[in-house]
Chains A and B, each alone.
Chain A
Amino acid sequence: MSDSVMTNDGELILDSHKLSYHMGRVKAWEAGERIGPVTVDMSLTRACGAMCSFCYAMMQEPQERRGIKTDHILHLLDDFAEVGVKGVSLVSDGESTLSKAYVPFVQHAASLGINIGNATNGWEWGPEKSEQVLPHMSWIRFTVAAGTPERYAEIMYKGPEHTEVFDKAMKNIRHAVAYKKKHNLSVTLGIQMVLMPEFEDEIIPFAKLGVELGVDYAVIKHCSDDEYQTLGIDYSKYEAMYELLDQAEALSTSKTKIIVKWDKIKDKGKPSYKRFYGPPFLLQISGSGLVAPSGMFFNARYSKLHIGNFTNERFIDIYNSDRYWRAMNYLASPSFDAQTMMGTLPIQHYVSSALDNHIKGIKKITESKKQSPLHVNFL
């Protein structure tokens, strides 16, 4: 098992972190300075046309939603550039491609030198939209819940008879693969399966589909759940799937790598850290406009950690406020226990784990002398 895989485009790290390439930020943080996030994960809306059974957004409803308009996101990006954000991933709690602000967002980010990645179901991502953004993107990751049309439609939509959503997604993914090749673009194209134990039968079909589509990678990851087990994920059942996951990885080709996020899958939902150090490096913003340290805290339940909303206050003012740093400090204090007070395996997991090990002296983060991997600005 390795932290990275070599693709035709370069070294790809999906099952670890990239802090070793941002040591300036790590040292400043360790010295007690206020640092801007390297990466922000966000969404331009909380809406989505899918209804995936594994979707964490079902547990992320905040006190209020506000509409995000194009002006808001242009200002937001200007503020990101000001505080030193290097990469923005459009994942978080909604389907950003549905937003009218989507294309302007990607194009403005590119003009500011901010790298952009995007996770999408690809349903509303036909050539008229995708061709406007593909040249500016670092990566696109399509959520593909299963390798067969019926199971895909069952998991991501209303039932197995609705295979039209699978057909639409495959058409748009194939177009993106062809467009990348034709224009020799640097964008990395991947598909992702969020593995719940009951999807075991789709592991191999998913890996085969990735190879058949000709994407750069197909990744299989764990499914997050909240601390009350709203989704009812039984993490003890993952172990029984290790052999199948090994078989899936063995289907990798020179063109398409099949990757399993072993580190998270083997964690079985309980982190090694009590303090949550990742958010100052990797901040999350909801499609409702809510700025909170992590998507784990978007629900109204965690209102004490809600810092502001960028649609009614400039992000730069939120970032510079004492309340921003008070929330970050709360997560680093004994009042907060990451093992019991938040959902499992957040997007900041790898970063938080590495920073905790660094602070405890278990494993120091050191500057990498290697060439930067792909997507270095996505921690």
Chain B
Amino acid sequence: MKKGVNLSFANIDSPSTGVLWVNMTNDKRVSLLESSIQLFSPQIDLNVVEAHESGQVSIHINSVIEINDRGEFLLNLEEYLKSTIDIGINIWHEPIGDKSSLRNLRGIEVLS
């Protein structure tokens, strides 16, 4: 039987970032992340937009990756960054705004 969902973490807090990460400047964090990402996937063009003290990292993928592969690629990348830089890192892609011209009349901009 293939395994479903692991239910053993219900009471576990999410890991926080460590002192080393927190004390780095934003530029240093971005630089460290970009060099690690280059080692992880030299063939994918990807840049780091922001790297917060909290571990929330915003990235932008410039290469074309099919949807079937994109999610797994990003989860693998996050795992790698957690294990090599800081366990509190979470990566998120840059948000995209609504493409509906009618709804856009509301002037809502997706925040990040």
Q: Mark A residues whose CB is within 8 Å of B.
A: 28-30, 32-35, 46-51, 53, 55, 57-65, 158, 226, 228-231, 273-275, 277, 280, 290, 299-309, 312-313, 323, 325-330, 332-337, 340-341, 356, 359-360
A306 B67 Cβ-Cβ under 8 A: yes
* Residues of B contacting A273 in the complex (Cβ-Cβ under 8 angstroms): 10
B97 A61 Cβ-Cβ under 8 A: yes
Q: Which residues of B75-112 are within 8 A (CB) of A?
A: 75, 78, 82, 90-100, 102-103, 105-106, 108-112
A325 B4 Cβ-Cβ under 8 A: yes
B103 A51 Cβ-Cβ under 8 A: yes
B18 to chain A, nearest CB (A): 15
Q: How many A-B residue pairs have CB under 8 A?
A: 161
* Residues of A contacting B95 in the complex (Cβ-Cβ under 8 angstroms): 59, 61, 299-301
The residue from B4, B74, B108 contacting A32, defined by CB atoms under 8 A apart: B4
* Residues of B contacting A302 in the complex (Cβ-Cβ under 8 angstroms): 92-93
CA distance A313 to B74 in the complex (A): 20
Q: Which residues of B13-62 are within 8 A (CB) of A?
A: 13-15, 61
A57-B100, A323-B68 are known contacts; what are 7 more A-B pairs with Cβ within 8 Å? Answer: A57-B98, A61-B97, A274-B14, A305-B71, A307-B71, A332-B6, A334-B14
Q: A228-B111, A280-B4 are in contact. Are A326 and B75 (CB under 8 A)?
A: yes
Does chain A have a CB within 8 A of B11? yes
Q: Mark B residues whose CB is within 8 Å of A.
A: 1-7, 9-15, 61, 67-68, 70-72, 74-75, 78, 82, 90-100, 102-103, 105-106, 108-112
CA distance A275 to B75 in the complex (A): 17
A275 B111 Cβ-Cβ under 8 A: no
B92 A335 Cβ-Cβ under 8 A: no
B99 A334 Cβ-Cβ under 8 A: no
CA distance A306 to B92 in the complex (A): 12
A61 B67 Cβ-Cβ under 8 A: no
CA distance A33 to B96 in the complex (A): 35
B93 A303 Cβ-Cβ under 8 A: yes
Q: A29-B4, A277-B5, A302-B93 are in contact. Are A230 and B111 (CB under 8 A)?
A: yes
* Residues of B contacting A35 in the complex (Cβ-Cβ under 8 angstroms): 4
Chain B minimum-CB-distance residue to A33: B4
CA distance A362 to B72 in the complex (A): 34
A51 B10 Cβ-Cβ under 8 A: no
B71 A306 Cβ-Cβ under 8 A: yes
The residue from B4, B9, B96 contacting A275, defined by CB atoms under 8 A apart: B9
* Residues of A contacting B110 in the complex (Cβ-Cβ under 8 angstroms): 58-59, 61, 226, 228, 230, 299, 301
18 A-B contacts (beta carbon < 8 Å): A30-B7, A34-B2, A51-B105, A57-B100, A57-B103, A58-B103, A61-B96, A63-B67, A63-B93, A274-B14, A275-B9, A301-B110, A306-B70, A325-B2, A332-B5, A332-B6, A334-B12, A336-B14
Q: A61-B97, A304-B78, A308-B67 are in contact. Are A323 and B7 (CB under 8 A)?
A: no
The residue from A63, A229, A340 contacting B111, defined by CB atoms under 8 A apart: A229
A51 B102 Cβ-Cβ under 8 A: yes
CA distance A323 to B70 in the complex (A): 10
* Residues of A contacting B3 in the complex (Cβ-Cβ under 8 angstroms): 32, 34, 325
Q: Which of B3, B78, B110, B112 counts the most A-chain CB atoms under 10 A from its CB?
A: B110
* Residues of B contacting A226 in the complex (Cβ-Cβ under 8 angstroms): 110-111
* Residues of A contacting B4 in the complex (Cβ-Cβ under 8 angstroms): 28-29, 32-35, 280, 325, 328
CA distance A60 to B90 in the complex (A): 20
Chain B minimum-CB-distance residue to A46: B100
A327 B71 Cβ-Cβ under 8 A: yes
* Residues of B contacting A328 in the complex (Cβ-Cβ under 8 angstroms): 4-5
